Chain A
Amino acid sequence: MRAFRKGYLRVALQSIRMARTRSFMTMLGIIIGIVSVVVIVAVSEGIKQQVGNQVSRYGKDVILVRPTAAGEVAGVGLSAAGSPFAAADMTMIKQVQGVLTAVPIATIQGSVKGDKTVDSPLVIATAPELETVLNQKIDYGGFFTAADAGRAAVLGSDMVAKMYTDDAPLGQNFTFRGHDFMVSGVYKPFLATAFSLEANYNNAVFIPYDVAQSMLGTPPAIQEVFVKVAPGKDVQKVATQVHEKLVQAHGGTDDVVTIISGSKSLAKNPTLSLLTRMIVITALVALIVGGVGIMNMMLVSVTERIHEIGLRKAVGATNKQILRQFMTEAAVLCGMGAVLGFVIALASIGCMAVFTTLEPVIIWPVAIGMPFVAFATGVLFGTIPALKAARMDPIEALRHE
């Protein structure tokens, strides 16, 4: 506010307006620095979440319960080793305080025959509550419900083409182990799980657990349980309790793991984070270059206005006042650059999200902090020319033309 009152700001704006092109070029340094850092961080974060984030397909309040030392098989991905859970385990998990629902995941072998036959599909017997646990929408149709006494099934998006000639096989039938099922819904494609060991749900056929049980005669072995925590409950606490109960039930052998989906969400991919760090360092260098640009610009500005500085000093400006004038100018320049950089960064992230397959995630501390860092850099570098201006001898300066 003081700068406003004393007219420094106006003088600064005036001199920036006088050298429009030069000022913009200088700002460009700052802008590029900010945009590159913010965009790169956003894109790499997006890639991280897209590629490495195995658990994002589940809701945040979901606990995964698996047998220990479950050797995961690529492609199918579900635990092949370890002792699967019994039906008794399921009821026990459901009784733990804070558990909203527990959803069993059991794979069943066998071929599926629709219009075409698929030999080794991923058939998953599960409960209707799976819909609330998974972070994915049904493309069309609906998930089977408990009321569906019939043999409704839900398909993963890739299965449609594998089983049917029709694009939308809603209501069509298929045969699995000699039993007829009807397609009640199709999932939207799940996120690409290229580097993930997770099962590819796009290739899955979901059938009701009860139906599978009556079909096989025995309850199918449960490889995995998704536990949804009641709202407002401490997920960590519930996970611990579930774990303790299961160990107790298994006679004290610690043969289960509980994974909280939120805690695993930022997959630590060392290559990716190293790359990100490298790029961020490069961008920071760009920022420093921007700062040097500001310094250069200010030096030119000072040299250009030596005469003016002389006059201002002659009519009574103190060193401090001249310093403040040029600092204000540097600050205004950097401030404009910072704001522009922020806006352009957000705009380009938005464009990327819309026009490319990338899904950048804006990291707000970086997006907001970066312009401030840029501002500080610029002002810091602007100090040197400002000091030069302030220390000028008025007589020498006045003689300069």
Chain B
Amino acid sequence: MPLIELKDVSKLYGFGDATSVALDEVSLTIEKGECIAVMGPSGSGKSTLMNMIGLLDHPTHGDYHFGGKRVSRLSTNRRAKIRRDQIGFIFQSFNLLGRLTVLENASLPLIYKGHSTHSRHMKARAMLERVGLHDRCYYYPRQLSGGQMQCVAIARALVNEPKVIIADEPTGNLDTESSRLVMELLSEIHKAGNTIVFVTHNPELTRYATRVVYMQDGMIKHDEKTKLGQVGAYVHSIMYSLPQTTADDDLAGVSALMKARGESEALPPARKVTKKKTKSPRRSIKRKAKK
């Protein structure tokens, strides 16, 4: 049984003529233990997908099964409880509460579970130890570096022992060194058996993923399995092969950008091809699961 199963999930905003499509019939199946990197240009629906998976949002159409349970039509409170018990969030802007100490920040999700202060702090302390910040328990977030803040956020995401960790651009606000620190940490967590879904703009970071999903215009354009330590092939082809202009193009006044546009407009047939490609590995996973 897959941990996460989205079936033709759409998310629409607005009404009538003003309707905009954030997610367009997205189907995605995530098994336990996967580490998925979601890529794509801004506005492609990555964040909406994250919110959907993280049960912050509910789909306009389509079905969502989380842990075998249909959650697409749950009430706000039920969804809050699933978030509380089974999902950990990591945000680009850390989202630590400045008025609380590191320890209190890390133990925040447990407040809503009704733990006693003591057990909350014990667990939070254990998690802070795991991210290497146990000596900063009584610091305030403003006294930490960006990387450290994100580590606290990771501790907070881990403290409720979630089934899946959702990270929306966890390294978006960090420098290269801190990014590495944070990604190494996430990768460790993944190796310990957690399921992680993260959004990134940096193709290098797909090295930490076992699967790369590339999104565009609210649809999944490409979905491939990669080996740990390798950049996804498709991502590599997109991100590392810039379109080049020839002397003829220059004469015609066609810039590299226009050329790239021209290519993307000719994408629909290409997408069909990729869809076929993506389906086969997923089927094989399903088969494995059935076995």
Contact = CB atoms under 8 A, between A and B. Distances in A.
A5 B117 CA distance: 7
Contact of B77 (A7, A18, A311, A318): A318
A92 interface: no
Say which size band chain A's interface belongs to: 20 to 34
A165 interface: no
Contacts, number: 61
A14 B117 contact: no
Say which size band chain B's interface belongs to: 20 to 34
Contacts of A228: none
A71 to B, nearest CB: 77
A305 to B, nearest CB: 9
Interface in B81-95: 81, 83-85, 89, 91, 95
Interface in B116-136: 116-117
Contacts of B160: 315-316
Interface in A297-355: 307-308, 311-321
B287 interface: no
A320 B80 CA distance: 11
Contacts of A321: 112
A395 B81 contact: no
B268 interface: no
Interface in A350-401: 394-395, 398
A15 B99 contact: yes
Contacts of A318: 76-77, 80-81, 112
Given A311-B97, A315-B89, A315-B109, A320 B77 contact: yes
B35 interface: no
Contacts of B83: 314-316
A364 B137 CA distance: 49
B91 A398 contact: yes
A312 B56 CA distance: 12
B108 A314 contact: no
Nearest to B77: A318
22 contacts: A6-B111, A7-B117, A14-B99, A14-B100, A15-B99, A18-B99, A311-B95, A311-B108, A313-B80, A315-B83, A315-B84, A315-B108, A315-B112, A316-B81, A316-B85, A316-B113, A318-B77, A318-B80, A318-B112, A319-B80, A321-B112, A398-B56
